[in-house]
Amino acid sequence: MQIDLAHSTVYHKEPTLSVLGSSPKDESKGSFSCFAIDFSPKTHEITWLKNGQEITNPISEIKTPTTVGKATENGTLYSTASYLKVKESELTEGDILMCLFEGPKTNENKSVTYKSDKFPLFPLSETDTCVNPTCPPSLDIKIKPISLEDMFLNKKAELICEVTPKEDVAVEWQDKDGQVIVASRNLSESNGKSKFAIIDVLYEEWSKGIDYNCVVEHPDLIEPKKEPYRKSGEVPQRPSVFLLPPVEQIRNNMVTLTCYVKDFKPKEIEVSWLVDDVAPASNKYAFNTTNLVENNGVYSVYGQLSFSLEQWNSSEAVYSCVVYHESLMDTSRVIMRSTVKRTAEKSNTVNLNIDLPQTCKA
């Protein structure tokens, strides 16, 4: 009988280590972080030392689970982090805090010097400057609100995730199960500072509720950053729309029309204005929509249109408050509109009407 024993080669790679100190709100504690990025094999130990002696009585020490990084032609790389809190009373000016990483064939360390008189409270030492790719990057992730007008009129709208800066960044949209949304597309802003992931969201899926995440990857991140976008699928409730009497501000030579939209859900709503059924010019009219007010699960909002008193007195235009909401999105009802007309005879004459397509039953 012949037995062959195959010998598999274990891939060894030392980590990229970085140590950070922070200035906590509770000044009685010192907080430190150690990041070990892209090492192999998975087996390792992280130990904290102060002035060469192991710290045995910290307030707390949290070690993240070792996560799988990226597969390479040589083997799989791993990353982890350790977070340490110690009593400020046990720290002295000039103390050296060291993060020691030990692997099967690796012994790496990084240190930070405690300086109590500077901000941040625990800066890096002069010999341990934090630069990419050693340190986790500072990324600004923004989700731009969906255009409700596009969603309600065109039955689809873009959902945009913007990441700044764009260098070495990969960004995509995923659903709640972590599956990549195939429709994602990436592009860079014309000024070269940002990267975008854009998907087209259909009204049919949006109205039922969606749970998406903008997922951002960077070589110096231990794990991807996620920014959520949530839209509930609750049963909609139709709003009531009231166009309040105009307010003339003689001192400022302005008049303001106010549209009160109340008792609707979900909260996603668009309030806009028309002058003689045409969108008003932004150089002649000022628009403002207040923050939503929530009461017992339903919402209210005010929309305002301001313009010169001269325009108001010299025109017999029809001013319309137009409301776009999910509750009006069945086969025939698209918008709800309330109008006011200023007549030459009586400047304060207000006509309140709810205009719906004639195919609807009042």
Cβ pair 309, 250 in contact under 8 A: yes
Looking at the predicted structure, is the pLDDT value of residue 71 above 90?
no
How high is the pLDDT of residue 293? 87
What is the maximal distance between C-alpha atoms in the chain? 113
Q: Is the peptide bond before 239 cis (omega within 30 degrees of 0)?
A: no
- In this predicted structure, what is the pLDDT of residue 199? 92
8 A C-beta contact, residue 254 and residue 308 = yes
Tell me, letter by letter, the H, E, C secondary structure of 61-79: EEECCCEEEEECCCCEEEE
Compute the average pLDDT of residues 245-262. 88
Domains, the chain, with CATH or none: 16-113 (2.60.40.10), 140-231 (2.60.40.10), 240-355 (2.60.40.10)
Q: What percent of the chain has pLDDT over 70?
A: 76
104, 78 Cβ separation under 8 angstroms: no
> What's the burial of 110, exposed, middle or buried (CB within 10 Å: 0-12/13-18/19+)?
buried
Q: What average pLDDT does the structure give for the chain? A: 79
Element (H, E) at 164: strand 156-164
pLDDT band at 46 (very low <50, low <70, confident <90, very high): very high
Question: What is the C-alpha separation between 11 and 40, in angstroms, rounded?
Answer: 6
Q: What is the pLDDT of residues 124-165, one digit of tens each?
A: 443 444 443 345 568 899 999 899 889 988 889 999 999 998
Paired strand residues for 187: 196
Asked if the model's pLDDT at residue 7 lies above 60, the reply is no
DSSP state, 15? Answer: P
